[in-house]
Amino acid sequence: MANQISVGSELLEYVREFSLREDSILRDLRRTTAELPAGETMQVMPEEGQFLAMLVAATGVAEVLEIGTFTGYSTLCMARALPPHGRLVTCDISARWPEIGAEYWRRAGVLDRIEVRIGTATDTLEEMIAEGRSGEFGLVFIDADKRSYPRYYELALHLVRPGGLLVLDNTLFFGRVVDPLAEDPDTVGVREVNARIRDDRRVDICMLPMADGITLVRRR
């Protein structure tokens, strides 16, 4: 039985040659983001954006929630995969970054599908629950500050419908989750949410060793 292979630059280029379908709008947004401070580190890999779009299309969901917008590459990928009547709510602490993405959303013809909510994500999610939006979303993508992942997870479980998916990014966190010397708040937050999901009988789980670690969680 084969084990996980190490994907170096040459093999990654092979994957992109035979799988990646990144058009000029996505490519332009990715390049613009890469020029920002920590832009390449913070944005999702194009393969992950395509994977998220595949999940949205394959599950047929019409309502998506994203926690952590940044410049909206993943936002664009998922919004394009929605049906025409679909809606995507994306949350960020600052309007600065989503404003960069909005031009690309407009170019792609999906600006009207996207609702941006600015503020602390925990406050925004709690407000949405108070608004009666629990169980509204078919898919929730979590990719914001890692120290808050345990709280985001619990709030997202309220907002996703039974049978819906949570997708958590960076659940291997640059390999720091297995480093006993890594005790910073972000690493601790990722470790805590990973343990919480593992032991949570309300959900089914699958952690994928892809990109920086992607965990799929299905609410039972």
Q: Whole domain around residue 202: which residue ranges?
A: 9-219
The CATH number covering residue 109 comes to 3.40.50.150
Q: Is 3 inside any structural domain?
A: no
Q: Is 29 inside any structural domain?
A: yes
Query: Model-level pTM?
Result: 0.95
pLDDT at 35: 94
Query: What is the tally of structural domains in the chain?
Result: 1
Report the phi/psi class of residue 94: left, alpha or beta, with left for phi > 0 and alpha for psi in -120 to 50: beta
Q: Is 4 inside any structural domain?
A: no
Bigger pLDDT: 156 vs 210: 156
Confidence of residue 6 (pLDDT cuts 50, 70, 90): confident
Beta bridge partners of 218: 165, 204
d(CA 63, CA 89): 8
Q: Is 193 inside any structural domain?
A: yes
Q: Is 2 inside any structural domain?
A: no
pLDDT digits (tens, 9 = 90+) for 158-182: 999 999 999 999 999 999 999 999 9
For residue 54, give Cα distances in angstroms to 21, 23, 74, 161: 12, 15, 12, 19
Average pLDDT, the chain: 96
Beta bridge partners of 142: 67, 168
d(CA 130, CA 118): 17
Q: Is 1 inside any structural domain?
A: no
pLDDT at 2: 59
Q: Is 159 inside any structural domain?
A: yes
Confidence of residue 40 (pLDDT cuts 50, 70, 90): confident
Q: Is 67 inside any structural domain?
A: yes
pLDDT at 41: 87
d(CA 74, CA 50): 8
pLDDT digits (tens, 9 = 90+) for 63-113: 999 999 999 999 999 999 999 999 999 999 999 999 999 999 999 999 999
